[in-house]
Structure 1
Amino acid sequence: MNAPLYNTQILRLAAEIPFHERLADPAASVEKRSPVCGSRVTVDVDVDGEGRVAAVGMLVRACALGQASASLMGAHVVGRSADEIAVARDQLIAWLAGERDAPPDWPGMEIFAPALVHRGRHAAIRLAFEAAAEAAAGAQR
């Protein structure tokens, strides 16, 4: 894997995080932090009557990889159920750990392939998905 870790796609996503403001009164809010690099992502969610994410807000204080991951998560999370988000999170964790050959079934995740060999970067990539899955599950209670 000779591809650069920080490529144009990663940097573009990092600069274009959707839903980059917190929700005023979310149904659930979760903050996740990487002890390795200090990256931090807070995800707020509201859900509809069917338990699907209806609104999302984020505060992202992370490296470019963490920002890019938050961007991809935010771009495709509205309309998803807590279970769907949890599956994507679990697939991401397994892929980064080398327990799964294919990237998660979430649009755009293949851009993190160059990071597979950089274990110290994995926590930052997981943060947004971990926070979103936990927040969506918490909003249904």
Structure 2
Amino acid sequence: MTADADLIKLYSTRILGLAADIPHRTRLTDADATAKRRSPLCGSTVTVDVQVTDGQITAFGQDVKACALGQAAAAVVGDNVIGRTEAEVQQGRDELLAMLKSGGPAPSAPFNGLEVLGPAAEYKNRHASIMLAFEATLEAMAEARATKSA
């Protein structure tokens, strides 16, 4: 199979469906914290707003300007992040990174929908975009934690 055919296969119907239906696309006006992450390689950006109560995300908003792979990741993260703790989000991030970088298994629930991005492991130049939603969410959660404990 040619490289072009492999890339077309990577952008499966399922990935494109996720990218077209990203949840929580409305930014929060009363966020506890906001974080923006950018992939220097491709210019993709994800901005995340969170409200955190008792260590759990209670409200979430995101602005996603990324390739279909980054959008698909943001869709799965956004669909499953409310009610999660920082440790749970970190675990999802670590599992996704292991799947992409070292052939690890697909992330466990609640982020198991990210298994659709398994074929992207072969495309290292796409990894940063795929990780943006988790990275921005974790940064916002850390900022919210720091602000609330200050």
Normalised by the shorter chain, which TM-score bucket?
Answer: over 0.9
Q: 1:56, CA displacement in angstroms?
A: 0.3
Greater RCO (Cα-Cα under 8 Å, separation 6 or more): 1
* 1:101 pairs with 2:104: yes
Question: What's the CA shift string for 1:25-80, capped at 9, x where partnerless?
Answer: 210111010111110000100012x2100000001000100111000000000000
Q: Distance in 1 between matches of 2:144 and 2:128?
A: 24
* RMSD, aligned α-carbons: 1.5
- Work out whether residues 36 and 47 of structure 2, in 8 Å CA contact, stay in contact via their aligned partners in 1: yes
The alignment status of 1:91 with 2:95, answered yes or no, reads yes
Query: Does 2:117 correspond to 1:112?
Result: yes
Aligned equivalent of 1:121, options 122, 126, 131? 126
Deviation at 1:107, TM superposition (A): 2.5
The DSSP-based 3-state class of the residue aligned with 1:116 is helix
By percentage of residues, which structure has more helix?
Answer: 2
Q: List structure 1 runs of 4+ shifted beyond 6 angstroms.
A: none
Larger radius of gyration between Structure 1 and Structure 2: 2
Q: Residues 76 and 107 of structure 1 are in contact (CA less than 8 Å); yes or no, is this contact kept in structure 2?
A: no
**Unaligned regions of 5+ residues in structure 2, if any?**
none
Give the unaligned 5+ runs of structure 1: none
Pair 1:20 & 2:25 matched = yes
TM-score, length-scaled by structure 2: 0.88
